[in-house]
Structure 1
Amino acid sequence: VVLALLKDYQITDVDIDFCESFYTREVGPQLHKPVDDLDPLVDVISPLTPALGLPISTRARPDAQGTMALYLAEGGGKDRLLGLSCRHILIGSEEANIDYVCHRSRPPRDVLLLGRRAFTNFVDSIKREKDNDAADVAKAEASRIKTEGLLDEAEKAMEELGGLLDQVKEWKKINNRVIGHILRSPPIGLGIRTKMKPDEFTVKCFPAETPTGSSNIP
């Protein structure tokens, strides 16, 4: 068909290679890779990873739960991965204690990821973690609002401090820092007698006036 189409449209400068196609059959739930401590799923994802202790059950006995103990490569040129677990998890004690071998002529005994109770607990753990994260978001939002308030106050303080700094810079000149002048200062000495009473030893200062007649003191 491809060659006929190319011929109809007079396309001749194309190389065509025919090769066998390959496909990979995916059966059951797709397991996740283990995650690091900073991953948002780290607290809940473990039961869905191929780590040791994978929680399993069976279709025939979903309330009987256990774990996958080991993984074994089948070998012999095959790429299947086999799992090792305890018999009592997979086959009930009410059945005859005989060797079981899977045959294609009979329906397979399905092994499940997560039994009934384990699945319920797993879903609940995700919900709890989600609720906890929602609570953390609410706290973070409240903290953000508070922080924004502190930021507004800090920005206002910076603005006022900037204005004060501009004012103080003008005081670098000595004349701008004069607040008054000395009216009187009696000499310091020993045994000096004075007729002034102690409560009259005061120094009175008056605001200095600028050339325009205004005072430096508000």
Structure 2
Amino acid sequence: MAGDTVNSKATRLTKNYPNAFSDFYGSGTPCVYKSGPSWPVRKGPQAQGIVREPRPVYSHSIQLTWISIGNRICDKLESLDIQWTSINPFAYANAGEPKPFCPLIICVGVKPRSLLYDDAVAAAAAVKGILTEAGFSEIEVAFLESVVTRNTGPKLLSFNPFINSVPNLRKPFTSALGLSIASRRYPHFEGTSALYFRLSNDNDHVAVLTCAHVARPPPVYPNTGMTRKNNNQPREEIVALGTMGFDNAIKAMLAKIGDNLQSIDAWSKALTRLGDPVDGEDLEVTEKRAEYLGLVETATKEIKKVKELHAEVTENYSTLDQRTIGFVLHSEKIEVSAAPCGFTRDWALIELYKNKIDWATFRGNKVWVGGNLSIADYGNTMFPDARDSKDYSYPEDGLLQVNGVVQATEMHNPEHLDVNGLLKLLS
């Protein structure tokens, strides 16, 4: 029965468009129709698909008029009753190849099973007409089935990764930049803080920047925007860690304890096999015993620290009251393609309660980058091309200071090379 379902899904698309699953192979997004010449495929009964990789597009002449062209495409699709979910200009390359074989294609996501083949062909012709009028007749159009998902109490803990024993487990309960927050009225939807702002010359009024849809989630608040103008106005309060965030943080601690106990058990068995020290034993045996003893000692100490953190957190931060850190000071009305730059307007300022922050240890606008990547991996991720990393050094204690603002021109034309060494060469 499962095989019949898979075959039915494949036949539904491939009976009209044979390349439905090969065009964007590896992405999990089947194609209803793509205009232009067919993309290459491997031949033969046992031939495997060619994995396609979407690549960013830089320095293309469409940049200057893309916003107006994109708006025309949106209007045209809506006039044709196309249930589109996204419109993305991408370049495409075969996996492992540095140069894209498709410099630019307009990929339109549509709700699964909402678009028939003939309607997709007609819609692609309409979009191609808009592109041709704008002077870009060479750009093709693809329709893909794709759904886009729009993912008081005590002070917050201090954060010092230089001395904290388990900084990755401690961080969710601190004021470190990237703090997970949620509306107290709807704690099931979470987002992160972006930047801290001082609203006065002292620390009496400090705000954190976040998204409007996080501060005032649509299931609870209308999309009208708001500004808190006086103290008589009711407060729309914000909590540090929503329901899922708190539960996940606790689960991570328990998992860490369990992992260390398993490791201690394995190392203890190895120590039993090595036996007690004896005169004249092999030096390698002595060194290996010392290594395992050190590992057991370190893991045992870490378990103690995690248990202490777990006890502190469950006692002081279990309820929403204990995790309330501030209130919405201002929230913009959410708008798509807002003037003057055509970006989405979706931001809010959260004023923090002064007594929720340990100002003596407050880190400000520093991002901790030491949680998920090793020192080497972080450097290689930030600067994949060696020519950009000659003056690079790892941030002290893994805390990266936030400075300045990325300009729109730099987004279109990055200053650094990508893993294929192409960005600077194209700018």
TM-score (normalizing by structure 2): 0.27
Q: 1:69 aligns with which of 187, 194, 213?
A: 194
User: Does the Cα contact within 8 Å between 1:34 and 1:49 map onto a contact in 2?
Assistant: no
* Structure with the bigger percentage of strand: 2
For 1:122 and 1:78, locate their aligned partners in 2 and report how far apart those are by CA, in whole Å.
29
Q: 1:33 aligns with which of 159, 180, 192?
A: 159
User: Does the Cα contact within 8 Å between 1:74 and 1:82 map onto a contact in 2?
Assistant: yes
3-state SS of the aligned residue for 1:30?
Answer: coil
2:270 — aligned with what?
143
Q: 1:98 aligns with which of 216, 220, 225?
A: 225
Shift of 1:78: 4.9
- Residues 1:46 and 2:159 aligned together: no
Q: 2:245 aligns with which of 118, 128, 133?
A: 118
2:425 — aligned with what?
none
Q: Which residues in structure 2 correspond to 1:1-218 (within 5 Å)?
A: 27-36=153-162, 39-93=164-218, 94-101=221-228, 103-147=230-274, 149-151=275-277, 154-155=278-279
Distance 1:43 1:33, change over 3 A: closer
1:155-208 alpha-carbon deviations (Å, 9 max, x no partner): 3879xxxxxxxxxxxxxxxxxxxxxxxxxxxxxxxxxxxxxxxxxxxxxxxxxx
Shift of 1:97: 0.8
User: Does the Cα contact within 8 Å between 1:57 and 1:89 map onto a contact in 2?
Assistant: yes
Shift of 1:135: 1.4
For 1:112 and 1:77, locate their aligned partners in 2 and report how far apart those are by CA, in whole Å.
23
Distance 1:157 1:131, change over 3 A: closer
Shift of 1:110: 1.5
Distance 1:80 1:137, change over 3 A: farther
Distance 1:78 1:116, change over 3 A: closer
Unaligned runs of 5+ in 2: 1-151, 283-427
CA RMSD of aligned residues (A): 2.7
Shift of 1:105: 1.7
For 2:158 and 2:217, locate their aligned partners in 1 and report how far apart those are by CA, in whole Å.
30
3-state SS of the aligned residue for 2:189?
Answer: coil
Shift of 1:125: 0.8
| Identity of matched residues, % | 19
3-state SS of the aligned residue for 2:175?
Answer: coil
1:57-112 alpha-carbon deviations (Å, 9 max, x no partner): 11101011100110112224453322111111011334141332163224322211
Shift of 1:54: 0.6
For 1:109 and 1:60, locate their aligned partners in 2 and report how far apart those are by CA, in whole Å.
8
User: Does the Cα contact within 8 Å between 2:177 and 2:194 map onto a contact in 1?
Assistant: yes
Unaligned runs of 5+ in 1: 1-25, 159-218
3-state SS of the aligned residue for 2:181?
Answer: strand
Query: How many pairs are equivalent?
Result: 129
3-state SS of the aligned residue for 2:239?
Answer: strand
3-state SS of the aligned residue for 1:47?
Answer: helix
Shift of 1:115: 0.8
User: Does the Cα contact within 8 Å between 1:68 and 1:83 map onto a contact in 2?
Assistant: yes
